[in-house]
Amino acid sequence: MQSSSEPLTVLIAEDSAADRLLLSTIVRRQGHHVLTAADGAEAVEVYLEQRPHLVLMDAMMPVMDGFEAAQKIKQLAGDQLVPIIFLTSLTESEALARCLEAGGDDFLAKPYNQVILAAKIKAMDRLRRLQATVVEQRDQIARHHDYLLNEQRVAKAVFDKIAHSGCLSAPNIRYLQSPYALFNGDLLLAAFNPAGDMHILLGDFTGHGLPAAVGAMPLAEVFYGMTAKGYGLAQILREMNAKLKRILPVDMFCCATLLCLSFERCTVEVWNGGMPDGYLHDSLTGVRTPLPARHLPLGVLKPQLFDDRTEVHPMALGDRVFLLSDGVIETSDDHDQPFGVEGLQQVFAANREPDRLFEDIQQALRDFRGEARDDFSMVEVRLVAPGQLNPPPPVYSDSGQSSPLDWSVSFEFRAQTLKRFNPMPYLLQLLLEVHGLRAQSGALYSVMSELYSNALEHGVLGLDSSLKHDASGFAQYYRERNARLDELNDGHVRVHLHVTPLGDGGRLVVEVEDSGQGFDVARVLARPLDSDRLSGRGVSLVRQLSHQACWSDDGRSARVEFFWEALA
């Protein structure tokens, strides 16, 4: 960047030889380098070849006059400012106005005054340098902007790899996500757990752009990793909250709704921290039950204070859960009025075909806003029969050489542990070290979870599953469960695992005992299978998915077997 004391190159365009000579000498004496031209055409040519910093232009010249030459030179200069000072003995204001119109920046009257000329050259040069700075900064900003766009593209590509390891394409899920979702902070994840249950997360990070993406990635990894291992919502939530609390700045957090949809048990487990109400839609009655936020968003509370309590609702085949981001509620019209929950309720009321809910909402938003935009996310999940879904088999990354084939282990989980620890994921991981069992990981997980929860809830806590006959009964059951668990001081659940070779394959025996009152085994086993009942299906499930299921010790002890053939 030139400083104010460096010499300039000045073009003097003047047809009078004497005046040209005089002016050149004056300007040279001021320390500048001088170029000359005797007419307008020559002036343009010299400008093109030498690109002087400043032009002194006589107004009246032959061939091409000063006005035309000035316009041409200004065009050639483009972004940059090349100051043009008209040399003139024109006095009428009309003529002077012409100079300005032609692009002149100043005048110098004849007879030439050296002092005035020096002052004008200095002033014009200052303007020229200012313009050059502005143009350079503009170009810098444009380059920087391009870098940022590219960085965002890269972040999005990395994120897409993580986000799309899920099951959003399952046939019972419908969703709408803004293409700019990541950069609005919206997150939508879905995955099957080993039992075939579906976990879903709809989240909304504070902020936009890279900060939101940076938080979303570890969250997605926790969600997918822990779901695949069979962890429950509570454990996954605790881990996600702790992670975000640790890595995000104090003022960043993630509002989120998490669902666990169980197709076997026909229930949905819900946790909503800071998101707008979700809705549970009863397909028979048409009633939509709101699922409001009962928790602070993820990443706000310290792990010790985090509340992982979920709510469980029963569902029937065909029922749906609908979640939306606050982009829908906050859509505003010309008068800055928000669409609001009222707008949404109106769409619900008017909706005739549940399959068209998304279209109805989009249309309503379009009508409200006057244009179509896509800065919101929605997801709807339907409860279907378990056989209708095909969860992909889990992928294992080890070589298969070191499978443990002959071992036993026993665990005893006592009151203080039962309160805050779910051993299922660990036990499952342990069992999946046995390669022969991997093909049955779904059944294994379902059966063991069922046996464990029966032992805990009906055995140790003494809960009566007949409470779960309707929605309010369900809520009561889970409230009671949490209360009794909080107060638990005695009791235990024992789990015994025995793996032995059998022929070319092997056998697993699982025994689960609890310290409870037991139950009338014969009566329960004699009950017919009733798929409409919300409870009591656990025993039939266990019998269906495993071998030699039997109960002893008055129902306090359950035993099942799994077999596998030699692996190919």
Partner 1 sequence: MSVVTEVSDDGKKLTISVEGRFDFGRHQEFRESYERLNTRPDSIVVDLKKATYLDSSALGMLLLLRDHAGGDDSDIRVVNSSSDVKKILAISNFDKLFDIS
Partner 2 sequence: MSEIHLDRDVLSTLKEVMEDGYLELLDTFLNDSEARLRVLHEARDAEKLGATAHSFKGSSSNMGAIRLAELCAELEQRAKQPSLGGIEKLVSEIDSEFAHVRNLCREEREGFHC
With H, G, I as helix, E, B as strand and everything else as coil, classify residue 251. coil
Residues 60-79, interacting with partner 2 (CB under 8 A): 60
With H, G, I as helix, E, B as strand and everything else as coil, classify residue 14. coil
Q: Which of 273, 442, 491, 516 is the binder for partner 1 (CB under 8 A)?
A: 273
Q: By the 8 A CB rule, do 432 and 529 touch?
A: no
Q: By the 8 A CB rule, do 253 and 206 touch?
A: yes
Q: Which of 82, 236, 255, 258 is the binder for partner 1 (CB under 8 A)?
A: 255
By CB under 8 A, tell whether 29 contacts partner 2: yes
With H, G, I as helix, E, B as strand and everything else as coil, classify residue 316. coil
By CB under 8 A, tell whether 128 contacts partner 1: no
By CB under 8 A, tell whether 327 contacts partner 1: no
Among partner 2, partner 1, none, residue 273 binds (CB under 5-8 Å by kind): partner 1
Nearer to partner 1 by C-beta: 42 or 204? 204
Query: Half-sphere exposure (CA, 13 Å, Cβ side) for 431?
Result: 33
Residue 234, CA distances (Å) to 306, 370, 453 in order: 10, 42, 15
Tokens representing 555 are 């129902």
Tokens representing 79 are 């972004």
Cis peptide upstream of residue 111 (ω within 30 degrees of 0): yes
Give the nearest distance from C-beta 42 to partner 2 in angstroms.
Answer: 16
By CB under 8 A, tell whether 89 contacts partner 2: yes
Judged by CB under 8 A, the number of residues near partner 2 is 16
By CB under 8 A, tell whether 114 contacts partner 2: yes
**C-alpha span between 326 and 314 (Å, rounded):** 26
Among partner 1, partner 2, none, residue 253 binds (CB under 5-8 Å by kind): partner 1
- Please state whether beta strands 106-109 and 84-88 pair in parallel, antiparallel, or not at all (unpaired): parallel
Q: Which of 66, 232, 274, 516 is the binder for partner 1 (CB under 8 A)?
A: 274
Q: What is the CA radius of gyration of the chain?
A: 39
Q: By the 8 A CB rule, do 116 and 108 touch?
A: yes
Cα 532 to its chain centre, rounded Å, is 38
Nearer to partner 2 by C-beta: 90 or 524? 90
Q: By the 8 A CB rule, do 59 and 27 touch?
A: no
By CB under 8 A, tell whether 13 contacts partner 2: no
CA diameter of the chain? 127
Residue with tokens 């090349």: 82
Cα 60 to its chain centre, rounded Å, is 67
Interface with partner 2 by CB under 8 A: which range of 111-119, 360-368, 391-399, 547-555? Answer: 111-119
Tokens representing 288 are 């939509």
Q: Which of 253, 322, 413, 551 is the binder for partner 1 (CB under 8 A)?
A: 253
Give the nearest distance from C-beta 62 to partner 2 in angstroms.
Answer: 8
Residue with tokens 């075909």: 353
Interface with partner 1 by CB under 8 A: which range of 34-42, 102-110, 267-275, 546-554? Answer: 267-275
Among partner 1, partner 2, none, residue 29 binds (CB under 5-8 Å by kind): partner 2
By CB under 8 A, tell whether 112 contacts partner 2: yes
Give the nearest distance from C-beta 25 to partner 2 in angstroms.
Answer: 5
Residues 471-530, interacting with partner 2 (CB under 8 A): none
Nearer to partner 1 by C-beta: 232 or 327? 327
By CB under 8 A, tell whether 107 contacts partner 2: no
Binding mask 361-400 for partner 1 (x = CB under 8 A): ----------------------------------------
Q: Which of 2, 6, 9, 21 is the binder for partner 2 (CB under 8 A)?
A: 21
Among partner 2, partner 1, none, residue 16 binds (CB under 5-8 Å by kind): partner 2
**C-alpha span between 258 and 201 (Å, rounded):** 5
Interface with partner 2 by CB under 8 A: which range of 22-30, 39-47, 262-270, 525-533? Answer: 22-30
**C-alpha span between 35 and 55 (Å, rounded):** 9
Helix locations, 230-370, DSSP H: 233-247, 326-330, 340-350, 357-369
Residues in touch with partner 2 (CB under 8 A): 15-19, 21-22, 25-26, 29, 60, 89, 110-112, 114
